[in-house]
A and B are shown apart, each in its own frame.
Chain A
Amino acid sequence: MDATLGNWGPEWICHRCHPFELRWVEIEGRGRIYSYERPHHPVHTALEGHGPYLVVLVELPDYGNIRMLGNLLGDPMQNVEIGAMVEAVFEPHEAVDPPYTLVQWLMTGKLQNYTNSVREHSKDVPEFGE
Chain B
Amino acid sequence: MIERTLRGKTAIVGIGETAYYKYGQSPDSEFKLALQAVVNACSDAGISPHDVDGFASYGNDRSEAGRLASALGIKELRFSNMFWGGGGGGVCGAVGNAAAAVATGMADCVVAFRSLAQGQYQRYGRSAGASVAAGDDAFMFPYGVISPAQRFAMKVTRFMHDHGIRHEALRAISLACYHHAQTNPNAVMRGRPLDEATYDASRWIIEPFFRLYDCCQENDGAAALIVMPADRARDLEHKPVYVMAVAQGCDERSAAPVHNMPNYASSHFAQLAPRLYAMAKMAPSEVGIVQSYENFTGGVLMSLIEHGMVTPEEANEVLVKENLLAPDGRMPLNTSGGNLAECYMHGLELVHESVRQIRGVAINQVKNNDVAIIMGGPMVSPVSSLILGSEATL
Which residues of A does B touch, CB under 8 Å? 7-11, 15, 34-41, 43-45, 47, 51-53, 55, 57, 66-71, 82, 100, 102, 128-129
Contact = CB atoms under 8 A, between A and B. Distances in A.
B129 A45 contact: yes
B143 A52 contact: no
B298 to A, nearest CB: 11
Interface of B: 125-127, 129, 131-133, 136, 139-147, 149-150, 153-155, 157-158, 161, 203-208, 210, 253, 256-260, 264-265
B129 A44 contact: yes
B206 A40 contact: yes
Nearest to B258: A9
28 contacts: A8-B260, A9-B136, A9-B139, A9-B260, A15-B256, A34-B158, A35-B157, A35-B265, A36-B157, A38-B206, A38-B207, A39-B144, A39-B205, A40-B203, A40-B204, A41-B149, A41-B203, A43-B150, A44-B127, A55-B144, A55-B145, A55-B154, A57-B264, A69-B139, A69-B140, A70-B143, A71-B144, A129-B132
Given A39-B153, A40-B204, 18 more contacts: A8-B258, A34-B158, A35-B154, A35-B157, A36-B154, A38-B204, A40-B206, A40-B207, A43-B149, A45-B129, A51-B144, A52-B204, A57-B154, A57-B259, A70-B143, A128-B131, A128-B133, A128-B141
Contacts of A35: 154-155, 157-158, 161, 264-265
Contacts of B206: 37-41
Contact of B257 (A9, A57, A128): A9
B153 A71 contact: no
B155 A102 contact: no
B260 A55 contact: no
Contacts of A70: 143
B253 A69 contact: no
Max chain B C-beta neighbours (<10 A), residue from A11, A15, A35: A35
Contacts of B203: 40-41
Given A8-B257, A52-B204, A70-B143, A37 B127 contact: no
B263 to A, nearest CB: 13
A57 B150 CA distance: 12
Max chain A C-beta neighbours (<10 A), residue from B139, B142, B153, B259: B142
Given A9-B139, A34-B264, A35-B264, A67 B259 contact: yes
Nearest to B204: A40
